Amino acid sequence: MAMATAHPTTRIPARWQDYLQLLKPRVMSLVVFTGLTGLICADRAIHPVLAAVAILCIAVGAGASGALNMWYDADIDRQMRRTRGRPVPAGRVQSADALAIGVVLSLFSVMLMGMAANWLAAGLLAFTIVFYAVVYTMWLKRWTAQNIVIGGLAGALPPVIGWAAATGTVPLNAWLLCLIIFMWTPPHFWALSLYTSEDYAKAGVPMMPVVAGAASTRRQILIYSFLFVPICLAPAFTGLGGPVYLGVAAAGGLVFLLLALRLSRSRAGEAPDDRGEGLYDVRAGAKDARNLFAFSILYLSLLFATLLAEHLLGVPALELLAR
């Protein structure tokens, strides 16, 4: 028995589900959704099989970035409640396996994207993977409180990749979709970090509430929200969004601003530990942060779903600027 303690022979065997978890399937599904929106909004006929393969490549590329992130961040993940159950910190998947899976899937997804769609889309996919795994994970995340602001570019690029896969070009409207996600990221993540900051502080990650304090974070969320909502209206002026989109963006934007205003006037993030066990399970003081965090997901999903539906149904865009 003493020997068994010194040289443990019973470790948790890795199941295929653990490897799937390495690919962050929830993030993957969001990336598939935004990538598909970019591909459909391009309004260019592409062979449905090639479109499906391009979307699969975006999904696998995102999964590969997730695996590389989990490989590098295992030390941080081990210290945070939200992430300590991940396969690498929990000891179900070996660190080297996570690295190998990340590298192999990155190469395969980029090569297949180049073959199925075009090399511009493949190049953008490769850039996104490198940006997330190297620039964000290895550098920004541990170095600056602006980590999720700059790193948000990786999460914002999938619609551009989808657009490039369909057309071989990346016009202004593709970058507008990217800008919407880019500007959405800070209020979304900072609202979350207001009630998980203790975890980040423990792990030594310089998230905004840890570095600048809760009051400054709430103020910055408000500033970003006032910049973000007008950008969400822009597609109605550039020939990308139709009347339904304008309605959804305006009404949802109003709610977003109200929630951001309420958060700015709250004391969210100032209690020592604002969170229960679940991601949405917060104590009274942090409810305003939780509400904005939850609504931000709904708002972004609605914006992209509306654009997707309008383009699939052939609803004409407003092009308000052209009038």
The residues of the shown chain that bind other proteins, judged by CB under 8 A, are 1, 3-4, 7, 9-10, 13-16, 19, 47, 49-50, 53, 56, 108, 112, 115-116
7 or 323: whose CB is closer to other proteins?
A: 7
Question: Which CB sits closer to other proteins, 108 or 127?
Answer: 108
Nearer to other proteins (CB atom), residue 20 or residue 297: 20
DSSP letter, residue 187: H
Shortest spacing between CB 65 and other proteins, in angstroms: 18
Least separation in angstroms between CB 131 and other proteins: 25
Alpha helix ranges (H) inside the chain = 2-6, 16-22, 25-41, 48-72, 74-77, 95-116, 119-130, 141-143, 147-156, 158-167, 172-194, 197-203, 208-212, 214-233, 243-265, 287-313
Q: How far is the CB of 1 from other proteins (least distance, A)?
A: 8
Rounded Cα distance, 94 and 90, in Å:
10
In the numeric block, the tokens 């996600």 are attached to 181
Of residues 33 and 108, the one with the C-beta less far from other proteins: 108
The least distance separating other proteins from the CB of residue 50, rounded to whole angstroms, comes to: 6
The DSSP 8-state label assigned to residue 275 in this structure reads B
The least distance separating other proteins from the CB of residue 217, rounded to whole angstroms, comes to 41
Instruction: Answer yes or no: are the C-beta atoms of 246 and 318 closer than 8 Å.
Output: yes
Q: 93 vs 221, which CB is nearer to other proteins?
A: 93
| Nearest residue to 51 via CA among 39, 34, 37, 60 | 39
Q: Considering the complex, what minimum distance in angstroms separates the CB of residue 129 from other proteins?
A: 18
Reduced to 3 states (helix: H, G, I; strand: E, B; else coil), residue 140 is helix
Q: Using alpha carbons, select from 189, 210, 222 the residue that is nearest to residue 27.
A: 189
- Return the number of the residue (166 or 180) whose C-beta is nearest other proteins: 166
Check residue 91 and give left, alpha or beta (phi > 0: left; psi -120 to 50: alpha). Answer: left
